[in-house]
Amino acid sequence: MPISNNLEKEEVKDYFNGTGFDRWRRIYSKSEDVNTVQKNIRIGHQKTVDDVLDWIKDDPTFLKSSFCDAGCGVGSLSVPLLKLGINDIQVSDISASMIDETKLRIKRENLNSKKIKYKICDLENLSGSFDFVICLDVFIHYPQPVAEEMVKHLCSLTKSNLIVSFAPYTPFLAFLKSIGKLFPGPSKTTRAYTLREQGIIRAAKEQGFAVSRKKLNQAPFYFSKLIEFKKNN
């Protein structure tokens, strides 16, 4: 694991237990208390969540499957998944505040089940074996080599399906970022990294996974590449 990882992780954890918690809790909600950038992030992120739900529903056995939502945030994916009728899910995040919020949202929707496991845990320390491992918009906080190690670890947790999303590196986005238009303003977030898709795919390939679907979701200030991998037989 690259040495920078621990420092990076501590910063990210503090952010999502502090100022970032309140910011992202509002973004991932129906609150009117958001600015234009945050509203657009909400719109773009919802596209990502909706695509993941559609892809999962394509699997005729999904209701009986086990799920791992790694870096779950406030439960934007776990809550609708539970509403669809799945009940075997491990919900984890590096931030205790995020996990508390997810618990609250699941309880508020009367979706509690004995098969929901909550873990305050960074994704490299997760263990278990699941039918679906999903990790959405988490890698943006980490540089390429760290994100690739994370992909490899997530591969080790899934029996068949891995779905990840990340901000893709493109020369155009690199240009926007360089002039401060992609992630605007100081202290709006932790450092934000765009990642090279080929590196992410290579990391999964090395673990015996192949790309089955891809999609780019966009809204102003939101760019996210969604990739579904399947384990080779």
Ligand X SMILES: C[S@@+](CC[C@H](N)C(=O)[O-])C[C@H]1O[C@@H](n2cnc3c(N)ncnc32)[C@H](O)[C@@H]1O
Minimum distance from CB of 174 to ligand X (Å)? 20
Tell which one of 119, 141, 153, 225 touches ligand X (CB under 6 A): 141
Question: CA–CA separation, 127 vs 179, rounded Å?
Answer: 40
Question: CA–CA separation, 146 vs 33, rounded Å?
Answer: 34
Minimum distance from CB of 135 to ligand X (Å)? 7
Angle ∠(81,84,90) on CA atoms, nearest 5: 30
Select from 128, 204, 139, 163 the least CA-distant residue to 56.
163
User: Residues 56-85 vs ligand X: string with x where CB under 6 A?
Assistant: ---------------xxx--xx--------
* SS3 annotation, 173-222: HHHHHHCCCCCCCCCCCCCCCCECHHHHHHHHHHCCEEEEEEEEEEECCE
Minimum distance from CB of 180 to ligand X (Å)? 19
**Which window, 79-87, 109-117, 134-142, 201-209, contacts ligand X (CB under 6 A)?**
134-142
- Residue reference for tokens 């992120």: 45
The footprint of ligand X on residues 86-105 (CB under 6 A) is 93-95, 98
Query: What are the backbone angles phi and psi of residue 72, rounded to the nearest 5°?
Result: -75, -15
Q: Which is nearer to ligand X, 19 or 64 (CB)?
A: 19
Minimum distance from CB of 8 to ligand X (Å)? 8
Q: Which is nearer to ligand X, 7 or 60 (CB)?
A: 7
Number of residues that bind ligand X (CB under 6 A): 20
User: For residue 85, is it left (φ>0), alpha (ψ between -120 and 50) or beta?
Assistant: left
Beta bridge partners of 130: 158
Q: Which is nearer to ligand X, 141 or 209 (CB)?
A: 141
Minimum distance from CB of 141 to ligand X (Å)? 5
138 counts as binding ligand X under rule CB under 6 A: yes
* Amino acid type, 131: D
Binding site for ligand X (CB under 6 A): 9, 12, 16, 24, 28, 71-73, 76-77, 93-95, 98, 122-123, 136-138, 141
